[in-house]
Structure 1
Amino acid sequence: MLPETNHHPEFQITRASHVSLGVTDLEASRDFYRDVVGLVVTEETDDVIYLRGLEEAAHHSLVLERSEVAKAHRVGLRVRSADDIVAAEKHFKAANIEYQRVERDHQGPTLQFRDPVGTLMEFTSEMDVVERKMQNFNEFVAGAPQRLDHYQVVTYDVKTATEFWTGLGMRISEYTAAGDDDELWGTWMEVKGNTHDLVFTNGRGPRLHHFAFAVPDGQSLLHAADVAGALGKGDEIDRGPGRHGISNALFLYLRDPDQHRVELFNTHYQFIDLETPPIRWDVTNPRRAQLWGMPASNRWFFEASEFPGEGVNEPLLKATPETLEAYLGLH
């Protein structure tokens, strides 16, 4: 039986918001996200660079932090107001969830916490407001990413992760399962009305598999791939272009200089009406991963960014995915 959404949570999550990455070469990472991906640099200091999509009015959706070791520092979500931060504190205290209130530059009240499967998260209720550039078409470069849309986290226990987040108001739009009892292998969950804000898939975790920016159209994906090739970063195209079965999205995945993975995608559908059931994909159905395009490589399936201080656990469910190497008969 699928975990049920709590439609009346004690606080309101509104969307995927921002991600913080530890990077070992700050300038190289800035150049990658600005020139290859196409993000806007909002602000730079000696140790931190803030970037955003072209239509975003929030100060940042990607934070690059100079670090000796490349890790995924935090996955960020927005809540409706400062009152929701207070309500989240009360809820986490009652539920014995580790949390702390912190000060983060350019953010309002911010609450950091660890979910039950070890994902390092933070909520904030507001950010400094900056200029939208959605009509500055002369600044649309590479993939012209518009806004941060979602995250995918690899976890050793999809069921526990899903129960926690549906308990906080997220709805399952699509899921992968096996058997008559719907053994969960992956869940796509949303709060903002399209197919996902937060995804959990089975594997060695907790690790951040990728974060994703929406782009204007399919041509933007091809242009990003061309730009990556022209700038000598073609080998960092990790997967695609192609079209997912789950979410129906066109996609392109790239790896940054520290091998953090970013997705550019287009064409989500709406998932708003409460009577609409989630779509079930059997874990054996290859169309869930792509309707067309080559299978993903070993590194797409098995490599991801670890969270600092969090041990990586072996998954409860075991599987051998269909990889590009297997498809081509390579070892």
Structure 2
Amino acid sequence: MLPQTSFEPPFTLTRASHVRLGVTDLDASRTFYSDVIGLVVTAETDDTVYLRGLEEDAHHSLVLERADDAWAHRIGLRVRTEADVLAAERHFRATGVEHRRVEQDHQGATLQFRDPVGTLMEITSSMETVRRKMADFHDFRAGAPQRLDHYQVVTHDVQTATDFWAGLGMRMSEYTAKDGTDELWGTWLEVKGNTHDLVFTNGRGPRLHHFAYTVPDATALIHAADVTGSKGFGREIDRGPGRHGLSNALFLYVRDPDQHRIELFTTHYQFIDLESEPIRWDVSNPRRAQQWGLPASERWFFEASEFPGEAVREPLLTATPETLEQYLGLH
């Protein structure tokens, strides 16, 4: 069933903001994200590294936190003002959503919560600002990632997740459904005017499938793949380069030393006007995820980062896309 977006949500979300990852070797992860991916290190302590894209003036969009296990600690979204954080508290209290106020370095008012399918979230109203490096071309490395754009979460219940976030003002730009139905297999949800800030896809969840940064162009994407290979991470290219049907972007997926997955991609089309209808894709149509060549491997479809303390549940839907291994077995 297609969701009904609330155009008068209880508080105002503005964009995907930041992600917090637990990493087991902080030095190795710092090197990977700064030298292989090309992010900028804003600040660091003995236990934490803060990074950002070249366009970003927000203090961080990726936080690496030293941990015993490689968890996806939190997914971050921005809200417009501190009043929105207070409104979110009131709304969650009234609707029974588990939440708590926290203090986070370099951030303004911050509220952590758990959505109905177990995704561990964090919203903040502001962040310390730093100088943008988008014109420091001498500092561009690898794919020269510009800004954090979106997340993809694997969930056992796409419909419940989609309905919850539509109720908070997110619009669905595209979706994948079981063939011949509107039984949701995947939904692409946005608040900032392009195709997605938050994606939910069917599978064992909740787990973070990937987080994604924009890159300037196709040349930067190819250079990112070259650098990944020359730095010894060629086997960790999980998928691509390729072109998605959904969102129409060129993409490259890479796994970090703890197997967290990052996507580099060449951004999306606009999805701003309210009369624009979401685009539907059959789950059996391979072009939805890859316009060129072969389908993704089993590990791209079935491996993802777990959230701490959240039990992983089996998906409600049984429809699954064709994997590379299945394709090769049939041809």
Q: If the length of structure 2 is used for normalisation, what is the TM-score? A: 0.98
Q: Which residue of 1 aligns with 2:281?
A: 281
Q: Classify 1:181/1:325 alpha carbon distance in 2 versus 1 (closer, same or farther; 3 Å).
A: closer
Q: Which residue of 1 aligns with 2:191?
A: 191
Kept after mapping to 2: 8 A contact 1:240/1:293: no
Q: After superposition, what is the alpha-carbon deviation per residue over 1:216-266, rounded to whole angstroms, capped at 9, x for unaligned?
A: 001111101100111111011000000000000100000000000000000
Q: Which residue of 1 aligns with 2:123?
A: 123
Task: Tell me, in whole angstroms, the C-alpha distance in 2 between the residues paired with 1:220 and 1:294.
Answer: 23
Q: Which residue of 1 aligns with 2:169?
A: 169
Task: Tell me, in whole angstroms, the C-alpha distance in 2 between the residues paired with 1:321 and 1:64.
Answer: 32
Q: 1:39, CA displacement in angstroms?
A: 0.1
Q: Secondary structure at the match of 2:41?
A: strand
The one-letter code matched in structure 1 to 2:162 is: T
Kept after mapping to 1: 8 A contact 2:32/2:257: yes
Q: Which residue of 2 aligns with 1:110?
A: 110
Gaps of 5+ in 1: none
Q: 1:119, CA displacement in angstroms?
A: 0.1
Q: Secondary structure at the match of 1:28?
A: helix
Q: Secondary structure at the match of 1:245?
A: coil
Task: Give the length in aligned residue pairs.
Answer: 330
Task: Tell me, in whole angstroms, the C-alpha distance in 1 between the residues paired with 2:292 and 2:223.
Answer: 19
User: 1:105-254 alignment to 2 at 5 Å?
Assistant: 105-254=105-254
Kept after mapping to 1: 8 A contact 2:178/2:319: no
Q: Secondary structure at the match of 1:74?
A: strand
Q: Secondary structure at the match of 1:162?
A: helix
Q: Which residue of 2 aligns with 1:41?
A: 41
Q: Which residue of 1 aligns with 2:78?
A: 78
Task: Tell me, in whole angstroms, the C-alpha distance in 1 between the residues paired with 2:54 and 2:210.
Answer: 20
Q: Which residue of 2 aligns with 1:96?
A: 96
The one-letter code matched in structure 1 to 2:252 is: L
The one-letter code matched in structure 1 to 2:269 is: Y
Q: After superposition, what is the alpha-carbon deviation per residue over 1:51-96, rounded to whole angstroms, capped at 9, x for unaligned?
A: 0000000000000000000000000000000000000000000000
Q: 1:284, CA displacement in angstroms?
A: 1.5
Moved more, 293-302 or 310-319: 293-302
Gaps of 5+ in 2: none
Kept after mapping to 2: 8 A contact 1:241/1:293: no
The one-letter code matched in structure 2 to 1:11 is: F
The one-letter code matched in structure 1 to 2:205 is: G
The one-letter code matched in structure 2 to 1:221 is: L
Q: Which residue of 1 aligns with 2:50?
A: 50
Task: Tell me, in whole angstroms, the C-alpha distance in 1 between the residues paired with 2:319 and 2:181.
Answer: 18
The share of aligned pairs that are identical, in percent, is 76
Task: Tell me, in whole angstroms, the C-alpha distance in 1 between the residues paired with 2:312 and 2:324.
Answer: 25
Q: If the length of structure 1 is used for normalisation, what is the TM-score? A: 0.98
Task: Tell me, in whole angstroms, the C-alpha distance in 1 between the residues paired with 2:50 and 2:180.
Answer: 46
Q: 1:289, CA displacement in angstroms?
A: 1.1
Q: 1:179, CA displacement in angstroms?
A: 4.9
Task: Tell me, in whole angstroms, the C-alpha distance in 1 between the residues paired with 2:325 and 2:183.
Answer: 27
Task: Tell me, in whole angstroms, the C-alpha distance in 2 between the residues paired with 1:165 and 1:295.
Answer: 29
What root-mean-square deviation, in Å, do the aligned CA atoms of Structure 1 and Structure 2 show?
1.0
Q: Which residue of 2 aligns with 1:321?
A: 321
Kept after mapping to 2: 8 A contact 1:243/1:293: no
Task: Tell me, in whole angstroms, the C-alpha distance in 1 between the residues paired with 2:234 and 2:302.
Answer: 20
User: 1:6-25 alignment to 2 at 5 Å?
Assistant: 6-25=6-25
Q: Secondary structure at the match of 1:93?
A: helix
